[in-house]
Structure 1
Amino acid sequence: MAVKIKDGIYWVGSVDWEVREFHGYETSKGSSYNSYLIVDEENVLIDSAKHYMFEELMEGISSVIDPMDIDYIVVNHAEKDHSGCIDKIVKLSGAKVITNEKGKEHLELQFNTEDWEFIIVDTGDEINIGKRTLKFIKTPMLHWPDNMITYCIEDKILFSNDAFGQHVATSERFDYEVETIEEIFEDAKEYFANILLPYKMLIPNAINAVKGLDIDYICPSHGLIWKEKIEEILNRYMKWSSGECKNKAVIAYDSMYGSTKKMAHAIGSGLSDEGVEVKIYNISGTPMNTIMKEILDAKYILIGSPTLNSNVYPPVAMFLAYMEGLKPADGKIAVAFGSYGWMEMATEIIKKSFEKLNFKVVDDECLKCRFVPKEEYIKKCYEFGKKLSEIEN
């Protein structure tokens, strides 16, 4: 059912409690597809949902108006989790589609738009719908070339699309309804680290543009609506995009027979005993997006793998590819370590990945262990961890 945001403006989206994967992102908490309805002299639907959520979307809209009375559909972003129901809604209502040039191009590549009527907008363009005026701001590459945000001037509501979202299914709709608000910030951080991170250099300009608006609500395409914590989420986005690091080490590894695991924990103990916050993850047992959330603001990145068939262990290879695509901030202090049998190859492959990301690679003779690390070897790993804590990036 619809949820009122302000008079004449409603959340009419759908909650996907069961979804557990979002193109490589493990959505253990589910997600939501937030659509918004503005009821005025001309009725506007802002974004839709995945195709299989069409009935839920129609229920929300129908609780407010007849879906046939929709005059415009704003497409802030043409990816299918936002646009999956648009073809059905256009066919049902004959609504005009408001988007930008790239949005139109992307929609034409996904749907038969021969009978659609498009209204193409650019940054600064406005459309009056009666008592209200909608203003559009293009935000290309946050995170597709077609992305834009829509601002309702009179109601001071920003429909922010993928910015400020979280992948979480919840019966609450607003930030002030959640008791553990820090958990929502962590969900937002994970979303940022796994979706927007590659385009971090574009975030500050977008945030500055947003800060120039008078905003009562930020309505993203996924997760909770921001009301009470608007300033805080804007500030956190600026911080996350800056590459600012905490005195924190993320150690991500996989292990065949436990040798690489022993090395990981020994190095981690050395770092921890010198006051560094340490997060240790087994790659096979941890969602990649969870590890990336912690890498976002970590000073030290340590990746461990046994050598298998002259290569890294397959789960480690997958994680390296995932991390390279997300492009964490330059200059992180990076360490490759691992065990091997007759020939060591894994650490060299990991270091090449670090070099692509412009990390500062630190090496040591104790980081390559043949077969099983004995007690003396574990001590060397521990001492390496202690020394590593002294290195500045």
Structure 2
Amino acid sequence: MLEAVKVSENVYWVGVNDRKLELFENLWPLPYGVAYNSYIIDDEKVTLIDTVEEGQLNQYMKEIKEIIGDNRGIDYLIVNHMEPDHSGLIEALVKEFPNIKLVGNKKTIEMMESFFGITNNTYEVKEGDVIDLGKHRLKFYTTPMVHWPESMVAYEETEKMLFSSDAFGSFGTLDGGIFDDEVELDFFEGEMRRYYSNIVGKYGGAVQRAFTKLKDLDIKRICPSHGPIWRSYPEKVLELYDKWSKYEGEEGVVIVYGTMYGNTAKIAESIGRAITQKGIKNVKIYDASKTHSSFIISDIWKYKGLIIGSSTYDATLFPPVESLISKLQNKGIKNKIVGIFGTYGWSGGSLKKLKEFVNSIDCQLAYKPLDIKHSPNESAINECIKLAEDLVNRLRK
């Protein structure tokens, strides 16, 4: 029998770990897997908060039945978010518990009909509505575009818990530890930043609006749909999300390059060395052909400085660099100090595209764009050093 994990009195975690899935949203790597979190409030009105991914039915039902037994039903299913990794078992639950009420906002209910053809036993909640479960009371707040238009959170007023859906979530399975004081926080901070920058990052403005809406709540626990439950350090995760959604970076520089035969890599190494000689210790150099953009984007979110270099390929950017900057544009990256350099053989083109990229984002350009032919000579290296020094000076202002 599976052991129920108690979050607080009469509140349980009924999540599952997925160690088989290789790509989240069929796009972002999952070297450490991912957890899908769902919760039961065992009260006069038995309430389930979100479901899990469709392929996890058997384990999920065993966990639910361990708490409520075989003779009780579920009164409410709170649908905070309709993304399939959290709504995937709605149909199965309706079949198992025919009288269950499906609680969501107007957009949620519309999506349930579109996804599953469900129109019966729906219960619409509006901003600030409350459902009384007995000892517990759930109050609802819409958080549109964090990160879907129907997204909402549920605040439990008695024990002051925020069921936050994808907000404050993290990649990585829960390997025994369910709570923040049971896990390695440095690891989960990194995976949470990667999750935020990859999945939520574009919607920093929406996150800030959600903060404004929730700022007066007394939050003792944060229960997200992925990653650990925050019971000891909820203020830490709130602080990180606030910083990331404002695009605030730490002192440090990400250097990413695309190269065919190594000349562009030489330039990146020279710039990296010059930056560290100016006293910056956090320097990350990435070959865009080798490291997945998921990890590069996460570090770009972490640090204030960014340098991008690309060889010219078919009169334009080297394809892995082109793919990366397209993602950065889509994420709305801003508030960075950016340096760029292009390399070419007989015909240029990469620098032109990098200039267009910088002009399309709300970032500060360091020094001047550098266009370097063939292998970098002493003069070119000196220019790279000037780029590094100017970027460091701007970082420290």
TM-score range, shorter chain: over 0.9
**Separation in 2, partners of 1:131, 1:380:** 68
Question: Is 1:112 matched up with 2:113?
Answer: no
In the TM superposition, 1:238-257 aligns within 5 A as 238-257=242-261
Letter in 2 for 1:37: I
Deviations 1:268-289 (A, max 9, x none): 1112211233211111222212
Task: Report if aligned partners of 2:338, 2:365 keep a CA contact under 8 Å in 1.
Answer: yes
Shift of 1:244: 2.5
What is the aligned partner in structure 2 of residue 284 from structure 1? Answer: 289
Question: Is 1:50 matched up with 2:48?
Answer: no
**Separation in 2, partners of 1:386, 1:360:** 15
Deviations 1:54-87 (A, max 9, x none): 2221121121124761121110010111101111
Shift of 1:335: 2.0
Q: Secondary structure at the match of 2:110?
A: helix
Letter in 2 for 1:104: I
Deviations 1:314-356 (A, max 9, x none): 11111111111111224x2222213212111112112212221
TM-score, structure 2 length as denominator? 0.92
One of 12, 18, 37 as aligned partner of 1:16 = 18
Task: Report if aligned partners of 2:171, 2:191 keep a CA contact under 8 Å in 1.
Answer: yes
Shift of 1:375: 4.7
Q: Secondary structure at the match of 1:167?
A: coil
What is the aligned partner in structure 2 of residue 103 from structure 1? Answer: 108
Q: Secondary structure at the match of 1:306?
A: strand
Task: Report if aligned partners of 1:266, 1:385 keep a CA contact under 8 Å in 2.
Answer: no
Task: Report if aligned partners of 1:96, 1:119 keep a CA contact under 8 Å in 2.
Answer: yes
In the TM superposition, 1:79-98 aligns within 5 A as 79-94=83-98, 95-98=100-103
Letter in 2 for 1:381: C
**Separation in 1, partners of 2:246, 2:366:** 23
What is the aligned partner in structure 1 of residue 377 from structure 2? Answer: 374
**Separation in 1, partners of 2:85, 2:107:** 17
**Separation in 1, partners of 2:192, 2:140:** 24
Question: Is 1:302 matched up with 2:304?
Answer: no
In the TM superposition, 1:1-393 aligns within 5 A as 1=2, 2-23=4-25, 24-66=27-69, 69-94=73-98, 95-114=100-119, 116-171=120-175, 172-178=177-183, 180-276=184-280, 277-330=282-335, 332-362=336-366, 364=368, 367-391=370-394
Structure 1: gaps spanning 5 or more residues? none
Q: Secondary structure at the match of 1:168?
A: coil
Shift of 1:123: 1.4
Letter in 1 for 2:390: K
Shift of 1:307: 0.9
Task: Report if aligned partners of 2:343, 2:351 keep a CA contact under 8 Å in 1.
Answer: no
Aligned length: 389
Deviations 1:122-142 (A, max 9, x none): 111011122221111111111
Letter in 1 for 2:34: S
**Separation in 1, partners of 2:261, 2:313:** 12
Letter in 1 for 2:384: C
**Separation in 2, partners of 1:340, 1:52:** 49
**Separation in 1, partners of 2:389, 2:365:** 16
Task: Report if aligned partners of 2:367, 2:387 keep a CA contact under 8 Å in 1.
Answer: no
Q: Secondary structure at the match of 2:68?
A: coil
Once the two structures are aligned, what percentage of the paired residues are identical? Answer: 35
Shift of 1:209: 3.8
Shift of 1:214: 2.5
TM-score, structure 1 length as denominator? 0.93
C-alpha RMSD of the superposition: 1.9
Distance 1:214 1:362, change over 3 A: closer
Shift of 1:156: 1.8
Deviations 1:250-278 (A, max 9, x none): 11112110111111111111122112332
Task: Report if aligned partners of 1:254, 1:315 keep a CA contact under 8 Å in 2.
Answer: yes
Letter in 2 for 1:137: Y
**Separation in 1, partners of 2:233, 2:168:** 11
Task: Report if aligned partners of 1:273, 1:386 keep a CA contact under 8 Å in 2.
Answer: no
Shift of 1:105: 1.7
**Separation in 2, partners of 1:261, 1:305:** 9
Structure 2: gaps spanning 5 or more residues? none
Q: Secondary structure at the match of 1:391?
A: helix
Task: Report if aligned partners of 1:253, 1:283 keep a CA contact under 8 Å in 2.
Answer: yes
Shift of 1:372: 1.9
Letter in 1 for 2:21: V
Deviations 1:1-48 (A, max 9, x none): 331112211101111122221122222211111010111122111101
**Separation in 1, partners of 2:205, 2:250:** 19
Deviations 1:288-319 (A, max 9, x none): 12211221243322111111111211111111
**Separation in 2, partners of 1:196, 1:317:** 21
**Separation in 1, partners of 2:76, 2:357:** 46
Q: Secondary structure at the match of 1:63?
A: helix
Name whichever of 69-78 and 240-249 sits farther off.
240-249
Task: Report if aligned partners of 1:246, 1:297 keep a CA contact under 8 Å in 2.
Answer: yes
**Separation in 2, partners of 1:103, 1:357:** 33
